[in-house]
A and B are shown apart, each in its own frame.
Chain A
C-alpha cells in the first residue's frame, strides 16, 4: 500500500517536472536535420509521440496507462520503456551487485579493523583513505582508474560491455567479467568510505562500553571481544547503511557508465534526459524507486535475524 502510494507520487512528480523541461523533444530528435524537416513533418513527429495533445490530456492518458502497468514507449529508443529498462538493467545489475558486495564486505572489514586499533597508524591510514574517497566525486575516481588501469597499465578495457566484433554467444565469462570489473571497482571504492567510517565509530562506542570493560577485566583479548561483542552490534548500522546506499549506488552508476561507455541503465538515463524522453525517464525513476524501496525493506527484514531484541514480541519483555 505504502509502496503503491510512493510509486504513484514519484511518477506524477517526475512526469510534471519533466514536462516543464525546456528541452523540446521534437527539436532534440531532429537535431542537425532541422532544415530538411518541414513544419508539417514536425507536427507529424509531435503527433506520433502524442505531444500535440494539451498537457492535461497527456497526463491523464499517461496516468491511465501507468495504472494498467503500461509505462509507454521510449522516444529515444522507439521501443516499450519496460523493454529498454529490462535490457539495460541486465547490464547494470551485475555491475551493481559486484560493487555492492565488494563495498559492503570491504567497508565492514576496514571499519572493524580501524575501530579495533583506533588511534594507531593503521587506523590513520584507513581514515585518510576513507575521508579522501568520501570527498572524491565518482566521475573523478572513474577517470583516475581508467587512466591507471586501462591507459597506463593496459590491463583493463576502456569501454563497453564486450570486446568488439564478437557475437554475443561467443563472449566468454572471463571477457564479460573483464569488461565489468573496472566500473564495478569504481562504484565499490566510493561506497566503502561511508561504511568504513560508520562501522569504525560504532565499534569504538562498543569498545568503550561497560560490558566490554567487564570482558577485558575477565581477561578476554581484543579480537574475541570484537568477534563476540562487537560484530553483532556494528552489523546493524552497517546493514542499514549498506541497503540505504543502494540509491547512491544507482546514482553513481549513471556517472560511471558514462565514463566507461558501459551501456547500462545509467547511460540510458543520460540519453533520455538530453532528449527530454519523458516516458523513459519516468520509467527509470519509477524503477529506481522500487529498487531502493526493496533494498530498505530487505534491511528491515534482516534486523530481527541479526538482533533478537528486534524480533516481534520483543516489547513484552520490557
Chain B
C-alpha cells in the first residue's frame, strides 16, 4: 500500500508543467483538488449527480447554508399546500445555462419529471407530476405528503430541457458556477468558471480534480501538487508545509447494529436467519451502550479527529440532545445487566441468563481498518462487564446474509432524514440494509410516520427528535437502544494556507466531495 502512493514531481515534470502553466502551485487562476468524487456514469443530476457537495455544473432550487439551514438558490420563494401534497416554487429569472439559453420553470418541471423516472441515485418516486404554470412558477404534485422531499429541491441540479440527451452526462450544461472543460475518465476533471453564473463569477477561475486514492492524495499535497487533499484520520497527524489541516465535523457515523428479535423468529425473503437471543434482550443492548467509552475510541482510533455518537444524526438540527448519555460507565452497565437477570453464576467471567451465555459476534467489512479497530476495541470494553464478543472481518457480500442475526459495524450519516426513517421503521425491514436488525416499535413507527408526513422540514423536526427520545421512549440508549452508535468521523483535509474555503457544513457520509458544497465562494488570499 505504501507503494501505491506518492506521485512525486520529477525534474522533467516540473519543467513541462511550468510550460503548460499547470499543477505546480495554486493561484486564483487555478487550484488542484485531490478529494475523490468521480462519478463514473457522468454528471447528470437526474441520475443522482450532486446528491452531496456541489453539483458544480448545475444549480439547485434550494441549498443548505453552512448551518444546514435551507436557503434559496434558483428558487426565490416556495410554498407548500395545507395537505402537504403541492409544492409551488417560483424561480429566479436571471439564471442562464452555460450555453446561453435562459433557465425557465419548464426546465425545472422537466428535470423533476425526468428524475422521477430515470432510475438513478436520486429518489423522486413520491413525485406525481411537475408542471410549469408560467415562465417562473413550477408546481410539484406529490403522491403523499413527504417532509423529506425538500431534500430533492436541495440536491437535484436543474438540467436544460433543450440539451438533455443521451450524451448529457458527459457534456453537462447547467446554470452552476463551473462548466466542464475536460474529463479524463479515471484520472482527472478540469472545470472552468461559468461567466454566465447568476451569483457572480466564482473566486477560483479553474479547478482540477484529481481522482487519486487517499495515500496518493496526501503525497500529491506533500509534493505541492494539490491545494486541497482529503486524507484519512491516520494521515491527518502529519504536517505539510504551507498547508493547514482542516478538520470538518461530520455525521459520518459508525455504530453497532443489534438484531432486535429473538433467534429463529422468522427469516428474510431470501431465507436468511433473523434475530439473536442475546441482543434481543434490552439489558444487553443498554449495557453495551453504557459500557463503551466513546471518547477513548475517538482518541485512540481516530487520532482525536472525531466525536462520540449517541444517535444517528449527531450535529444536525433534528438531533435530540437529551438522548445523549454518560458513557464508559462499567458499574452502571453491570447494574443494568443484573437487573435484567444476567448473572455470572458459574464464575467464568461471562454473565448468563437462563443458561444462555452473554456472547455475540461483531461482523465488520474487512477492507476498512477503522471498523476493524472499533470492533476490536469493543471486545476489550465489554469484557469487564461480562459480555464475551468475538469479531470477524468479511466482505459485504458475506456479511449480507448474516447481518440480521449478528451485530454488524455499519456507517451511515446523511442530511436527508429519510435515512433515519429507514434505519428504524419496522416497515423498512425487508431483508436488506434498511433496518437490518428488524427493530420494531409501534410508537416509534407512529412518530416516524408523523415526521415523514409533516408538510415541512421545520414541522417534522419535533417528531424526528421525539423518535430518538421523548422522555419516555425512543430508539436511542435510554429507550430501546436499537443500536450502539459509537463515533462520528471528522473529515480531514489538508488545505493550502492561501486558500480560503469559508465555513464548512457538518458533512454527510462520504469523505471528500462534501467539502465542495460552498466551492463557488472559495477565494485565493495570496497575491
Contacts and interface: CB of A to CB of B under 8 A. Distances in A.
Contacts of A261: 4, 186-187, 212-213, 216
Nearest to B411: A32
Given A36-B416, A158-B6, A175 B41 contact: no
Contacts of B185: 77, 87, 263
Interface string A72-86: 000011110000000
Contacts of B2: 147
Contacts of B208: 164-165
B184 A168 contact: yes
B121 interface: yes
A172 B17 CA distance: 11
Nearest to A167: B182
Contacts of A178: 12-13
Interface stretch (A23-31, A130-138, A221-229): A23-31
Q: Which of B48, B185, B186 has the most CB of A within 10 A?
A: B186
A162 B184 contact: yes
A44 B2 CA distance: 41
A10 interface: no
A157 B182 contact: no
Contacts of A147: 2-3
Contact of B169 (A32, A45, A78): A78
Interface of A is mostly: helix
Contact of B6 (A41, A150, A163, A263): A150
Contacts of A162: 184, 187-188
A3 to B, nearest CB: 30
Contacts of A174: 12, 16
A217 B212 CA distance: 65
Given A44-B118, A158-B216, A77 B16 contact: no
A46 B20 CA distance: 45
B51 A33 contact: yes
A79 B2 CA distance: 34
A309 interface: no
Given A41-B125, A77-B40, A167-B181, A35 B47 contact: no
Interface string B492-526: 00000000000000000110000000000000000
B47 A78 contact: yes
B187 A271 contact: no
Contact of A76 (B5, B41, B510): B41
Contacts of A150: 6-8
Chain B interface residue number, banded: 35 or more
B138 to A, nearest CB: 22
B418 interface: yes
Contacts of A33: 48, 51, 121
B422 A48 contact: no
Interface in A1-55: 22-23, 27, 29-30, 32-41, 44-49
B17 A166 contact: yes
A259 interface: yes
B212 A166 contact: no
A45 B187 contact: no
Contacts of B32: 164-165
Contacts of A161: 184, 187
Given A34-B434, A35-B434, A41-B125, A159 B119 contact: no
A38 B40 contact: no
Nearest to B124: A41
Contact of B22 (A35, A38, A49, A164): A164
B16 A158 contact: no
Interface of A: 22-23, 27, 29-30, 32-41, 44-49, 76-79, 87, 143-144, 146-147, 150-151, 154-168, 170, 172, 174-175, 178, 259, 261, 263, 267, 271
6 contacts: A33-B51, A38-B123, A40-B123, A150-B6, A155-B10, A263-B185
Interface of B: 2-10, 12-13, 16-17, 20, 22-23, 30, 32, 40-42, 47-48, 51, 117-121, 123, 125, 169-170, 181-182, 184-188, 190, 208, 210, 212-213, 216, 219-220, 225, 397, 411-412, 414, 416, 418-419, 422-423, 430, 432-434, 509-510
Given A77-B40, A78-B41, 17 more contacts: A27-B432, A35-B412, A36-B422, A37-B123, A47-B119, A147-B2, A158-B4, A158-B6, A158-B8, A159-B212, A164-B208, A165-B190, A167-B181, A174-B12, A259-B3, A259-B4, A263-B187
